[in-house]
Every structure is written in structure tokens, then in C-alpha cells.
Structure 1
């Protein structure tokens, strides 16, 4: 399988790239990124690093470079507090993600062999909330925007009459880096945190095999 990975310089995205390169079930990785990646990825025969600055649009020339991709692992985003304001966060999280999903549905999915589906796996977050009017007492902006992305992606998939484009939204709780210390891991047990490499393996498995649920909660990710 040939796959697209985004957010490649981030905690989750970089782990996804490593897992994809290591998997014998993935033949090639298109690392779609705003910034250059480390030498190990750039020189891997299984990876093509594609620099792209404006994720609000995916022009035909870029989609041509991605031809043959059968799925995408989307890890652009994070928490609202990591952005200068909610409007910027919503643009990056919602607009970029949904625009890419539409482009892949319209361009890449129809290129696949008959009966094959393009799988779009979005790294969302625990407690993502679709109801934009619901009062929330913690991480409100992050949860609402994540929910808005999930809803938008599901609408993109549902609009595909041919059912060639499918969406999975994974909702990890806190994510622990590989070098997390004892204190961080002890605290992480309080909210069922997941190791980033475990999360990456779970997301790659969902990409390769699909899943019975469209929304995949943290407990399920921990079990994969």
C-alpha cells in the first residue's frame, strides 16, 4: 500500500512516518510536509518527501505526485492552545483537513482498482464534541473544533455515492513521547495516556485493515 502522511514534523506524524517505513505492508510513503524532514526519512527508498506550504489547497500538480496513494494518515492539528487564536486553529484543523479529504475523494480514490477504497485516518482527540452549542467545562475550543473536523470528514465520505472514500477518526487521550519519564508516565495512567509509538502502530493498522467503527475511542486504540 502507498500512503500519504501529514504532520510529519510533529509528535504523532513523525511516529507515523517511522511506522510506515518499517511496515512490510506499506510499499511507499508520501510525506507531505511544510518543512524538510530528517535525513533518515529523506534518504529512505520507501519515502518521498513533498514540500507543500499552503494546505488550504492541493493543486493538480501536487495530486499528480500523490497518484497511486491508497490512504492517508492525517496528523495536522493539535490543541487550540498551541495556536495564536481559535480562528487560526479552526482554519488549520478544519479547513485544511476537509479540503484535503475532498481532493483525495475526487482525485485519488477514483484512480484505485475496482472495489478498492481510499482510507482517510484522522488523528482527532478524546472527548471531541460534534454539538457546537453544548456547554463544555474543559478544553472547549479543542473539543468543539475536533468534533467539527470529524463531522466534516464524515460528510465528505457520506457524499461519495461510489463508497470509494472512507473515513476513520481516532480519539487518543494524552499522548506520551517515546522518551517520557517516570513522572509523566505515572501521571499518564490517570487519564489512560497512550504511547506515541503505540498510537502510530494502531493508526497504521486501521489504515491497512479498516475498522468496524468510524469513530475509534482511546480504549480501542490501546487494545490494537
Structure 2
């Protein structure tokens, strides 16, 4: 099982790498990024570090070059974790946000499809967010621009998959507030408030990463959206099945 990963330096991406290196069913995980991928801290000794490959891509907004695609040949799936989160979007223009959050995944999907394993549908696992908004006319009082932009991406990805005649197997994961063992206590205490006021649930990063890898490996079962509740449930099941602990 050969899996492409974007956003490998982020919280979810790093956890995807950790679990992939511990899972013998995954033979290769390829990080596509602007810089070299690194191993997560505290990686257990049984992790197979030889499975991690790093491919440098300077421009995600243009068709990916041949020397990059050559290293992605035969890939079975992609986990797309590359995005600008609301907390990091301050100071960015609407054009910059659209380029990264909207344009990049479509250029990437088109490029990867050209060299992916054709024996089965190419599985594209796209990380969105719980509060994205597909209704572009709805008034939002918190992070409206970012939420509607990601909602547009969801709509267009679903259309792309529908028009692919079975070539693309898509799943959109919609995590809420992401936590790990390093999450400060002050933030932990705010999570119930965020859920009560904004309707924003929480999920452990290991659960998200486990589900995304599980779906990349096994397929989506025809389910094109995975809710936060689904991430919590299936993530725990997958980790238990693989006998992998949540990140320390």
C-alpha cells in the first residue's frame, strides 16, 4: 500500500507518518512538501523508518513536474492535509487563501491521477473541518470567509469524484477542535464551551490520522463524508485493531 501525504509537517500529518511507520500493511508513505519530511518525536523502535520517502515540490499551484510524478507512480491513495487553518490565516489575502485552500488540492489531484495505481479507484482523503459551510448565502458571524471557502472545496471535490466515473474514491473528513497529549489545560477546559456555543466538537489527533489511513487502505465504503463523531469511533477501533497506542 503506497500512500501520498501532504501537510506532513502539521499536527495531523506528523501523526499520519507515525502510525503509517508502525503499520506493516503500509509499505510506503510519501510526503510531498516544500521541505524534507522528518520523523515524529518519540517514534517507537519498532517503527519502520525506511517506509518514509520525501519528495520536494516547490510549486503546488502548477501541474506537478515529471520528476515529482515519477516518484509517485503506482500510488494507491492520497491523504490531503495541506491547508491554511483559521488560526494561521491572519494577514493573508483572500487570493492567497483561495490559492492554498482551493486551488492546490485540485491541481494535486489531477497530477496524481495521471500516475496512480489504475487497478482500483484512487482514494483521495481530504481533511476539511467540522464547521465548514457549503451554503454560500448563509450569514456567518465567526470565520465566515474561511468556512465558506472550504465548503466550496467540498462541493467541487464531490462533483469531481462523481464525474470521474469511479476513478476517484473520495472521503472528506470533518474534524472539530484537534487535541493531543500536549494540548494545554486552558484549551482543554475551553472545549466544552466551544461545543456548546459554536457546535464545535473535539477529536484526538490519533483518531483523525488513524481513520484517514484506514480509509486510504481499505476504501471509504461509499461514505463520502466522515463526521467528527465518526472519526472518534472509527479511529479508536482502527488503533485497537492495529495495536497502536495514541501519540504520547
**Same fold at TM > 0.5:** yes
Name the structure 1 match of 2:246: none
**Aligned ranges 1:6-155 → 2 under 5 Å:** 6-38=6-38, 44-57=49-62, 58-83=64-89, 84-105=92-113, 107-109=114-116, 111-113=117-119, 116-155=120-159
Shift of 1:187: 2.4
Q: Distance in 1 between matches of 2:228 and 2:39?
A: 32
Q: CA deviation at 1:189?
A: 4.0
Q: How does 1:195-206 map to 2 (within 5 A)?
A: 195-206=204-215
How far apart in 2 are the matches of 1:127 and 1:39? Answer: 31
Number of equivalenced pairs: 218
- Whether the 8 Å CA contact 1:55–1:96 is kept in 2: the answer is yes
Counterpart CA distance in 2 for 1:82 and 1:125 is: 15
> 2:146 aligns to what SS in structure 1?
helix
CA distance in 2 between counterparts of 1:6 and 1:16 reads: 10
Q: Deviations over 1:11-50 (max 9, x none)?
A: 1111111121221111101111112222569x92101111
TM-score normalised to structure 2 length: 0.81
Q: Deviations over 1:48-88 (max 9, x none)?
A: 11111111121222112100110000001132451312221
Distance 1:87 1:209 in 2: 36
The residue that corresponds to 1:220 in the other structure is 230
Instruction: Give yes or no for contact 1:3–1:70 (8 Å, CA) kept in 2.
Output: yes
Task: Name the residue aligned to 1:168.
Answer: 171
Unaligned runs of 5+ in 1: none
The Cα offsets for residues 155-203 of structure 1, whole Å up to 9 and x where unpaired, read as 2212212x12111100000111331133322322443311112211121
Structure 2 stretches lacking a partner, 5+ long: 196-200, 235-248
TM-score for the superposition, normalised by structure 1 = 0.89
Displacement of 1:148 after TM fit?
Answer: 1.4
